[in-house]
Amino acid sequence: MKNFYDILRVSEDATQEQIKDAYIELISKYHPDVYSGDKDYAESYTAVLTEAYSVLKDPKRREEYDLTQNITKPSQSNSDDKNFSNENYHSDYIYEYQNSHRGVNLDQERSRKYFKGAKRKSKNIFKRLFKSKLFYALLFFFGIEMIIIIFIYLQGQ
C-alpha cells in the first residue's frame, strides 16, 4: 500500500505546516505546466501528491490512515533510507495509481509502456514523410527525370 509520508517526503511525525510546505514544493516542481520531462508522468505524480496531501492535511483522515498503516512510532520510519531524488521510486506509486481501477497485470502493462513509443513512431513515419517538402521536391525531380529519359528513349527509336 502507498506510504503517503514517503510520497510527500516527510516523516510520520511531521506537522501540518511541514506537510503543506512539502506538498507546495513538490507540486510546484512536478506540475505538468512546469515539469520539463514526461507530461504523463507529471500528471500522474501530481495526482498522487494531491491524494496524499488530501489525506494527511485532515487530522481525522490522517489518524485513520496512521491506524490502517500501523504507524505508531516515528522512529520506525525508514524514509531516510530511500533515494527521493530518483523518479523511478515514485513511478511505482504512480503506476499503481494509474492502474488501480483496471484489472491488469502490472508487469504486462509496464512492458506495453516501454514499447508503446516504438509503435507510435513507426506509425507516424508515413505521415511525416508525406508532410515533408523534401519528399515532394524529390518526387518532382524524379518525375522530370523520368520524362527526360522517356523522351530520349523515344527519340532513339
Locate the domains of the chain by residue range.
4-103, 105-157
pTM given for the model: 0.47
Provide the 8-state DSSP code for 86: -
The C-alpha cell that represents 88 in the structure block: 523511478
The pLDDT score that the predictor gives to residue 99 is: 56
Q: For residue 35, which of 101, 75, 94, 104 has the smallest C-alpha distance?
A: 94
Confidence of residue 91 (pLDDT cuts 50, 70, 90): low
Average pLDDT on 13-38 reads 89
Average pLDDT, the chain: 76
Instruction: Over range 6-26, report the average pLDDT.
Output: 90
What lies within 8 Å, CB to CB, of 5 at 6+ separation is: 11, 12, 14, 56, 71, 77, 79
CB 90 within 8 A of CB 44: no
Using CA atoms of 121, 123, 128, 129 in order, give the dihedral in degrees to the nearest 10: 120
Q: Which CATH number fits domain 4-103: 1.10.287.110, 2.60.120.280, 2.40.30.170, 2.40.50.40?
A: 1.10.287.110
The band of 97, judged by pLDDT with boundaries at 50, 70 and 90, is: low
